[in-house]
Amino acid sequence: MYPNQGSRPGQPGPYGTPYRPHTPQGGRPPRHGLGFTVVAAIVLALAVTIGMVTARMTTHEAITRSPLAQSPGIVSQPVDSQTSNADLTAAANKVVPGIVNVDTQLGLQNGEGAGTGIVLTSDGEILTNNHVVEGATKISVTALGNGRTYPATVVGYDRSDDLAVIQLSGASGLRTAPLGDSDRVAVGDAIVGLGNAGGTGSPTAAAGHVTGLNRSIIASDEAAGASEKLTGLIQVAANIQPGDSGGPLINSAGQVVGVDTAASQDFRFGTVSAQGGGQGFAIPINKALSIAKQIQAGKSSNTVHIGQSAFLGVTVSDANGGALVRNIVTDGPAEELGLAPGDVITGVDNTTVGSALELTDAMDQHHPGDTVTLKFTDQTGQSQSARTRLAQGPVG
């Protein structure tokens, strides 16, 4: 494991996309340079309230990166399981050629991240978590089926369900992942999670079993003071690690039944308690594919954003009655508008903004080049309203 930067003693750090922030030792990286991304939706949680310690697979964990070093089509280390090791290793190896490593540069944070993706089409449409690519200014993807690396762009994303579809440039003939039916998953089923654990570039398998269905968790960011609920998840007892975000949850038949999205090493949920064993959560593949198909069809909605992200140029956190401006991005629309730290954004056009998340949701309805009316309260308590043209920002 890696240092849990930003997490409190006794609580797990974020599990999923490893991240090396270029900040002072013990410091916390800024929130995704954000324009509208602010402390964004699902808010890339570290951990929630005591008693429900659930870590989001987020980019906010320090890592030591190593070069890509895998043989396409082979799990690089044995499955760690007490149940049918050979069978689960074989199941994982069936899927390896249909996954990718996702590496991101987070230019506004001067950092980088790593995660996993699932190949949907031979020409390079990839399913992953939104938080794997959120805030990315550059995305590089290595297909494990052929070992080639491709630049990628985001087709669209759904923050509320933490899913995104990205498109590889110049890809053809890729092996697609074998997909199963998540409606057939049952408690007790043997499973194996597969991904770019630790950001090493080598496919690593983590076996276990299903411990719950239709679970809900709250992912939160203590520094931002915001939280988001994820629902309908498959809960597993498996050692899901940083870098597994966006990777497949695989059944014993070698079929993808979920998309790994969150984990905790000390998790309690209502009357369910599992401590010290590594609890993971995955989005059922049937749900994920339904959202992916909507994105592929270019159909935006209240939750699905298609195309490039709009950029306001602020970082914000929750405030009483709005979104509190914490920092201003140089040369962004907010700076040109005269917005300052301490101001509270209360509306975008005719949409009322009552929190950081609501600002994110409002901005997700817009694209670069749109002109919006921003409503805010300045530090003197005066209500202000001004028009601004949104710029192109990083993903999500």
Structure tokens at 394: 């990083």
SS3 state of residue 115:
strand
Catalytic residue among 32, 60, 131, 305: 131
Based on the residue annotation, tell me whether 181 is a catalytic residue of this protein.
no
Q: Quick one: how far is CA 99 from the chain centroid?
A: 16
Catalytic residue among 103, 162, 244, 361: 162
Among 272, 283, 197, CA closest to 240: 197
Based on the residue annotation, tell me whether 244 is a catalytic residue of this protein.
no
Q: Note whether 304 and 157 are within 8 A (CB).
A: yes
CA 143/CA 97 separation, integer angstroms:
8
Catalytic residue among 182, 202, 220, 245: 245
Among 158, 102, 145, CA closest to 126: 102
Based on the residue annotation, tell me whether 290 is a catalytic residue of this protein.
no
How far apart, in Å, are the Cα atoms of 25 and each of 5, 66, 104, 111, 243?
9, 20, 22, 14, 22
How far apart, in Å, are the Cα atoms of 24 and each of 5, 62, 272?
11, 12, 38
CA 42/CA 16 separation, integer angstroms:
14
Q: Which residues are catalytic?
A: 131, 162, 245
